[in-house]
Amino acid sequence: MHRRLLLAGLASLPAGQIAAQQNRAAPPPTGVPPRRTDPAPEAAPAPLSTADRAELARLEAYLDGIRTLTARFVQVDARGGTATGRLWLARPGRMRFEYDPPSPILLVADGRFVIFHDRSVMQTSHIPLGATPLSLLLAERIQLDEGEAQTIRLVRGEGVIQATLIRRGRAQEGSLLLVFTEPPLVLRQWLVTDAQRQTVRVTLLDIEIGGRFDPNLFRFIDPRFFDPPSGN
- Superfamily of domain 15-26+46-211 in CATH is Lipoprotein localisation LolA/LolB/LppX (2.50.20.10)
Predicted TM-score (pTM) of the model is 0.77
What confidence tens digit (pLDDT) does each residue in 181-211 have? Answer: 999 999 999 998 887 888 999 999 999 999 9
Phi and psi at 76, nearest 5°, equal: -120, 125
> Domain boundaries in the chain?
15-26+46-211
Residue 85: enclosing H or E segment and its boundaries? strand 82-90
| Residue 55 C-alpha from the chain's centroid | 22
Side-chain half-sphere exposure of 101, counting CA atoms within 13 A: 0
Inter-CA distances, 4 with 15, 20, 57, 110, Å: 5, 12, 33, 22
pLDDT of 55-106, one tens digit each?
999 999 999 999 999 999 999 998 899 999 999 999 999 999 999 999 999 9
